Chain A
Amino acid sequence: MTTPTPTQARCASLRSKSSYGAFGDFHEELVEIMGATTTYWCLNTMGKAGPDEHYVHRSICQQGRSCWENPDAD
Chain B
Amino acid sequence: MPLEIITQEQEQGAQPGAKKVPNAAKPEPQAVHQDVAAPPVASKDSGPPKRSESFVFGIPQNGLTSKQREVPVDEPPPLARNADLRYIGKPTARYDGPAKAMGKGKYTADVQLPGMLYARMVDASVPHGRIVSIDTAAAEKLPGVRAVYVVQHTYGLAELRDPKQETPSRYPLIRYAGQPIAGIAAVSPQIADDAAKLIKVQYDPMPFVVDRTEARAADAPAVFPGPADAAGSAGGGGGPKGVPQVGNVHGPQRKQTGDPAAGFAAADVVVESEYFTQVQTHSALETHGFVVDWKPDEVTVYASTQGTSSVRNDMADVFKLPKSQVRVITEFMGGGFGAKFGIGNEGAVAANLSRMTNAPVKLMLDRRQEHIVSNRPDSHQKLKIGAKRDGTLTAIELTSYGTAGVGTGAGTAGPATNLYTCPNLLTEEYDVFTNAGPGAAFRAPGHPQGCFAFEQAIDELAVKLAMDPIALRDKIDENQARRVERQLIVERTNWRNRRPAGSDAGPIKRGMGVAQSVWYRFVSMNSSCEVRVSRDGSVELMSAVQDLGTGTKTMLAIVVAEEFGIPPGQVVIRIGDTRFPVGPDSGGSVTAGSITPAVRNAAYQAKQQLFAAVAPQLGTTPDNLHLAEGRVLFKNDPSRSYTLKQITGKLPTDEISARATRGPEYAKEKLTYGGVDYVELAVDTETGRVHVEKVFGAHDCGRPINPTGVISQINGGILQGISYALFEQRIMDRKTGYMLNANLDNYKILGAREVPEIEIELVENYIAQSSTDAAGIGESAGIITLAAAIGNAFFNATGVRMRSIPMTPANVLAALGKVPGQPGQEVQA
Contact = CB atoms under 8 A, between A and B. Distances in A.
B98 interface: no
Contact of B255 (A3, A22, A68): A3
B587 A66 contact: no
B127 to A, nearest CB: 14
A49 B173 contact: yes
B243 A3 contact: yes
B160 interface: yes
A69 B523 CA distance: 28
Contact of B588 (A18, A54, A59, A65): A18
Determine chain A's interface SS by DSSP, over half rule: loop
A60 B159 contact: no
B668 interface: yes
B429 A49 contact: no
Contacts of A48: 175, 405-408, 438
A19 B691 CA distance: 41
Contact of B241 (A6, A23, A32, A69): A6
A4 to B, nearest CB: 5
A44 B433 CA distance: 21
A16 B314 CA distance: 12
Given A26-B522, A67-B156, A8 B238 contact: yes
A24 B3 contact: no
Interface string B220-241: 0000101000001011111111
Contacts of A49: 172-173, 175, 224, 406
A54 B588 CA distance: 28
A46 B2 contact: no
B154 interface: yes
B92 interface: no
Nearest to A25: B668
Contacts of B348: 46
Given A26-B522, A43-B317, A49-B173, A60 B238 contact: yes
A17 B224 contact: no
Nearest to B167: A53
B370 to A, nearest CB: 16
B407 A36 contact: no
Interface in B655-673: 664-665, 668, 670
A54 B226 contact: yes
A64 B158 contact: no
Interface in A9-31: 13, 15-18, 20-26, 29-30
Contacts of B411: 35-37
A24 B522 CA distance: 9
B3 A37 contact: no
Contacts of A62: 238, 241
B584 interface: yes
Contacts of A34: 445, 588
Contacts of B255: 2-3
Contacts, number: 225
Nearest to B418: A33
Interface stretch (B134-142, B295-303, B339-347, B596-604): B339-347
A66 B406 contact: no
Interface stretch (B246-254, B270-278, B495-503): B246-254
A59 B342 CA distance: 21
A52 B158 contact: yes
A36 B3 CA distance: 14
B433 A3 contact: no
A47 B345 contact: yes
Contacts of A24: 523-525, 664-665
**Most chain B CB inside 10 Å of its own CB: which residue of A33, A37, A46, A55:** A37
A23 B525 CA distance: 6
B101 interface: no
Nearest to A53: B166
Contact of B585 (A20, A68, A69): A20
Nearest to A1: B256
A39 to B, nearest CB: 4
A65 B318 CA distance: 20
Contacts of B590: 21
Nearest to B168: A53
A53 B588 contact: no
Contact of A52 (B159, B232, B520): B159
Interface in B502-548: 520, 522-526
Contacts of A25: 664-665, 668
Contact of B409 (A39, A44, A50): A39
A27 B1 CA distance: 15
A43 B318 contact: yes
A54 B238 contact: no
Contacts of A39: 404, 407-409, 438-441, 445
B154 A45 contact: yes
Contacts of B234: 52, 54, 60, 64-66
B14 interface: no
A21 B404 CA distance: 23
Contacts of A4: 241-242
A55 B408 CA distance: 9
Interface in B280-297: none
B407 A20 contact: no
A59 B241 CA distance: 6
A67 B342 CA distance: 21
Interface stretch (B305-313, B558-566, B793-801): B305-313
B154 A44 contact: yes
Nearest to A55: B224
Interface in B311-365: 313-314, 317-318, 338, 341-345, 348
A64 B232 contact: yes
Contacts of B344: 46
**Among B407, B520, B668, residue most surrounded by chain A Cβ atoms (within 10 Å):** B407
A21 B585 contact: yes
23 contacts: A3-B242, A17-B441, A21-B522, A26-B668, A33-B418, A36-B253, A36-B410, A36-B413, A41-B342, A43-B318, A47-B438, A49-B173, A53-B160, A54-B161, A54-B224, A54-B235, A55-B224, A60-B241, A62-B238, A63-B237, A63-B238, A66-B158, A67-B156
Which 10 A-B pairs have CB atoms at the shortest separation, nearest pair first? A36-B411, A64-B237, A64-B238, A66-B235, A51-B158, A37-B446, A67-B158, A39-B409, A37-B445, A20-B310
Interface of A: 1-4, 6, 8, 13, 15-18, 20-26, 29-30, 32-41, 43-55, 57, 59-69
Given A38-B408, A66-B157, 4 more contacts: A38-B441, A49-B224, A52-B159, A64-B235
